[in-house]
Amino acid sequence: MTDRTQAFDRLTDDYRRFRPGYPADITERLREHVLAGGGEPRLLLDVGSGTGISTRTLRHLFGPGPRVVGVEPGRAMRGAAADEADGLEYADGRAEALPFPDGSASLVLAAQAVHWFDRPVFYAEAVRVLVPGGTAAVLHNDRDWESSDFVDAYEGLLEKYGDDYRRDYRVFDTVGEMNAADGLADAVGHSTAWTRELDLEKLLGNALSSSKVASVVRALGEDATRAALTALAREHFPDGRIRIPYVTRLFLARRT
């Protein structure tokens, strides 16, 4: 894989079927921040939109009024999202070169994606396309390895066999980075803890939708990867009810 934007092409179906959404208290904070920016939202951009999980969330949050566009360079991911478009739009584009004019958007959101970006360039692009008072937002679900022996062991498996994988790959100073961006201010972070319950099929499907697990598959083979994950699940959850604690984090900043 030489083009990182196509990294999920072979993972698209599992991604669409098994990836989780976001807790309602966090998405409501996002909605409130956008509405507090003044004026009716007109264009909402979901950057790195994948199969459209967060794009559809924006439509649910804001209703039919604003234009909602997912920006996604991955061909297969964008195609899967378009199959469920339901009035949404999807555009081919990268976070570092958004295909929208200056001062056109009320929201620029990166959900489960900002770790793929050149972040300073992305924040500069967000400033460019946002209206004054508009919202730049970063949102992601993180497995909580500190509160679960199973998740700790799962992360250890990825660290052992993945390509230089580190469980803290999404841990960086997002508030500091946003505040350092010329044209963004008043960055703030919110988080909420929750638990997702899965059966074995959904656990494996969710795992195999990950580009991080794909590197384990390259090292071990898919059958051995499935067997290792199954063994971990059965060791920690003999009742078959697999409980994965998450922390969902939302970071918000205002376009000055």
The CATH number of the domain where 43 resides is what?
3.40.50.150
CA atoms within 13 A on the CB side of 87: 11
CA dist 252 and 184 (Å) reads 10
The answer to whether position 172 is within a domain reads yes
Cα torsion through 160, 161, 166, 170, rounded to 10: -140
Q: What is the pLDDT of residue 18?
A: 78
CA dist 167 and 98 (Å) reads 29
The answer to whether position 231 is within a domain reads no
The answer to whether position 106 is within a domain reads yes
The answer to whether position 220 is within a domain reads no
Q: What is the pLDDT of residue 1?
A: 42
The answer to whether position 23 is within a domain reads yes
Q: What is the pLDDT of residue 16?
A: 73
The answer to whether position 93 is within a domain reads yes
Q: What is the pLDDT of residue 159?
A: 96
The answer to whether position 40 is within a domain reads yes
Residue 12 sits in which domain range?
A: 4-143+168-195+246-255
Flag residues of the chain having pLDDT under 50.
1-2
pTM to 2 decimals? 0.92
The answer to whether position 59 is within a domain reads yes
Indicate the number of domains in the chain. 1
Angstrom distances, CA of residue 215 to CA of 28, 39, 115, 157, 160: 35, 45, 17, 11, 11
**Which of 54, 246, 66, 44 is CA-nearest to residue 151?**
246
Q: What is the pLDDT of residue 14?
A: 73
Sign, CA dihedral 116-121-127-128, equals negative
